[in-house]
Amino acid sequence: MGDNRQNSIGYSLPPVWTKLKQHAVFPHFTHDERARYNFLSNLNRYLSTVVAPGVQVAYERRVEPAFKAEHDRTFENRHELREAISRDAYYQLWAALRRCTMEMRQQNGRAAVLRQAEELAQRVQETLKGHEDILRLKPGFKVPAYLRHVDNHLMPGSYHTEYFEGDVANAANYDSGLFVTSGGMLGSLTDGGGRAIAKWVRENYPNFKPKRILDIGCGLGHNTLPIAESFPDAEVWAIDAGAPMLRYGAARAIALGITNVRFVQMDAEDMSEFPDGYFDWVQTTMFLHETGGKAIHKIFREIGRVLAPGGLTLHIEQPQYTPEMSYFEQFMRDWDAYYNAEPYWGHMHDLQPEDLIEEAGIPRANFLQVGVRAVNDLDKPNGTQVREDYGRSPIWNVFGGWKPK
């Protein structure tokens, strides 16, 4: 029971939470805490497959017609549309429920993790014994302003808050709950993004043998490890601003038997400790939309600097908003930016990826862009895919390019 497969009644069930692989530094969840997450997974699935499609119906049948009747024209941008739809009772119900599940997910995860925070910190420390060289934190490190300014996806304290010396609570909370918000669609280690990009690179560039790989904004390394696993001879550097994430990520990597990744605390706007041309591959995965409007340009200039001639840079993100994308779809994709506390998401998706890649010193002729789908080990061979849910389905836009030799 409980895989991503339609059952006899034609309703797709999310996997039960116990399908999430419990590694050696994973927090302990009681029976009731697991049940709470199971409820939330199912609530999310119901919202995304049954309730959310109704928002489009309400939009088409009454929000847009009412606006047209009043203004004698349709919407001219997604912001105008937001104003109008915000007064629609059905939209309000969906939005309130969606916000509610996000908050409950955080509350439930924190309740489970905070009560064992000390023990988790200890376990991480013990796991890292003899592997101290793979983790480097910097006393007095200054967390970038864009991270301190908001708690991304409503996670109180975000990636960087430490409740005590050696704390990993927020990382453990993140690790436990991503499976719930993604409905298990990222696989048993919630690493479907990393697996997808590793597979795509291997298949498309079989002769590409990177010696050094950099993953920027690695978080706890969910998507770094599949890359490290696929390129076992490469030296992989995973950088992030959040100490709890790095600490937990390093221990998690060891617990999962992956030893070619080092986790370093670093601000991606200033990677001056890496020499020019140090990396053959620079990767980001769902990171750029959590940066800032000025930072993103500095980051791309730094990427261009640390990338070796002939090297590859790739960035997994949600699709950019294009003139062909309806305002309704833009608005729905924008929803998380406003209401799931990922405020840069909306602005970032107005940028042109070609321009960003050019800022990294890669000419437009070398620009590449593809769509990839998560590689999910929980998918059954005869599985059916759950419908697209405005940026929450495991289908992403990958853009990047090869730096000229």
Partner 1 sequence: MKLNDIVMASDKSKGARPYFFDDPMAERVMNIAMAVATEVAVIRERIDTIERLLEAKGILTQEEIEDFVPTDEQAEERQLWHARYTARILRIVKQELDAVANPEDNKPMHQIADEINEM
Binding site for partner 1 (CB under 8 A): 31-32, 35-36, 38-40, 43, 86, 91-93, 95-97, 99-101, 103-104, 106-108, 110-111, 114-115, 117-118, 149-151, 154-158, 163-164, 169, 338-339, 341, 343
Which is closer to partner 1, CB of 82 or CB of 212? 82
Provide the 10 A C-beta neighbour count for residue 398.
21
Nearest residue to 199 via CA among 384, 370, 17, 6: 370
Q: How far is the CB of 165 from partner 1 (least distance, A)?
A: 8
Which is closer to partner 1, CB of 95 or CB of 378? 95
Q: How far is the CB of 401 from partner 1 (least distance, A)?
A: 35
- The DSSP code for 64 is H
Nearest residue to 395 via CA among 325, 326, 331, 333: 333
Distance CA 147, CA 3 (A): 35
Q: What is the rounded radius of gyration, in angstroms, for the C-alpha atoms of the chain?
A: 21
Q: Left (φ > 0), alpha (ψ -120 to 50) or beta: where does 91 sit?
A: alpha
* Residue where the block lists tokens 């289908």: 395
Distance CA 180, CA 31 (A): 16
Q: How far is the CB of 193 from partner 1 (least distance, A)?
A: 23
Which is closer to partner 1, CB of 30 or CB of 384? 30
Q: How far is the CB of 173 from partner 1 (least distance, A)?
A: 10
Which is closer to partner 1, CB of 118 or CB of 235? 118
Which is closer to partner 1, CB of 275 or CB of 293? 293
Report the run of H or E that residue 56 belongs to, with start and end: helix 53-58
Distance CA 210, CA 99 (A): 42
Tokens of 81: 């549309």
Which is closer to partner 1, CB of 66 or CB of 370? 66
Q: How far is the CB of 341 from partner 1 (least distance, A)?
A: 6
Q: How far is the CB of 376 from partner 1 (least distance, A)?
A: 24
Q: How far is the CB of 95 from partner 1 (least distance, A)?
A: 4
**Residues forming beta bridges with residue 402, ordered by sequence position:** 312
**Residues forming beta bridges with residue 135, ordered by sequence position:** 263
Which is closer to partner 1, CB of 43 or CB of 201? 43
